[in-house]
Chains A and B, each alone.
Chain A
């Protein structure tokens, strides 16, 4: 069974600092990996999807890397802003449809 771990569970940084969020998974035979953002009381917003053949994916201030062999993905958020405060979830797709989610990292960006 695929286990997905996100450490730390919570993170607080001052505005402007770069954020580094970690995701590890136990089974390296993944199809792809997706990062989501969840605001309190809201649904999940897809941020980035990285295919198993890719090493990284970028969107604006966000950059996600994938190292399948070591079972790790990292989400970088440059120059954090208070609006980046949310819970960030990593989800790994083993087969062609099923996502296994991590518990998330709750980020607070202090103004």
Chain B
């Protein structure tokens, strides 16, 4: 199994640009999570999908952030427009069920200048 796949691994963009992060969960996993990790705030849950349906998006910082899961094998996290304070590492994780062991992808390191 290839594990959770994220792309790109690194993204550098200018303030105001649109950024799209991609995630492919482990096959057979029904739950998908997007997290953000910063030195100041640690790991924060942004949004949780179950069976492709967003269940909890209370962690999405503001309307500039949006996430979709069009099918069981693909999810995107979009930031539009991006700001320097969005610079962080964004992780995608998946699990068989919502309370099961979570498996993390390698992350996308986002730098907004």
Known A-B contacts A42-B107, A43-B107, A49-B101; A97 and B43 likewise in contact (beta carbons under 8 Å):
no
Cross-chain contact B55 with A97 (CB below 8 angstroms): yes
A31, CB-defined interface residue at 8 Å: yes
Cross-chain contact A45 with B43 (CB below 8 angstroms): no
Question: Of B33, B48, B91, B102, which is in contact with the most chain A CB atoms at under 10 Å from its CB?
Answer: B102
Cross-chain contact B104 with A34 (CB below 8 angstroms): no
A7, CB-defined interface residue at 8 Å: no
Cross-chain contact B43 with A101 (CB below 8 angstroms): yes
> A34-47 toward B: CB 8 Å interface, digit per residue (1/0)?
10100001111110
> What is the interface residue range for chain B against chain A?
20 to 34
The 8 closest A-B pairs by CB, nearest first: A97-B98, A44-B104, A43-B104, A101-B43, A43-B106, A96-B99, A49-B101, A96-B98
A-B contact pairs, 21 of them (CB 8 A): A34-B101, A41-B109, A42-B107, A43-B4, A43-B91, A43-B107, A45-B104, A46-B102, A46-B104, A49-B100, A89-B43, A91-B43, A96-B98, A97-B33, A97-B50, A97-B56, A99-B45, A101-B42, A101-B43, A102-B42, A104-B42
B residues near A41, Cβ cutoff 8 Å: 109
Cross-chain contact B98 with A44 (CB below 8 angstroms): no
A residues near B48, Cβ cutoff 8 Å: 97-98
B31, CB-defined interface residue at 8 Å: yes
A residues near B55, Cβ cutoff 8 Å: 97
Cross-chain contact B91 with A97 (CB below 8 angstroms): no
B residues near A31, Cβ cutoff 8 Å: 99
A93, CB-defined interface residue at 8 Å: yes
- Which residue in chain A gives the minimum CB-CB distance to B44? A101
Q: Distance (Å) between the CB of B29 and the closest chain A CB?
A: 13
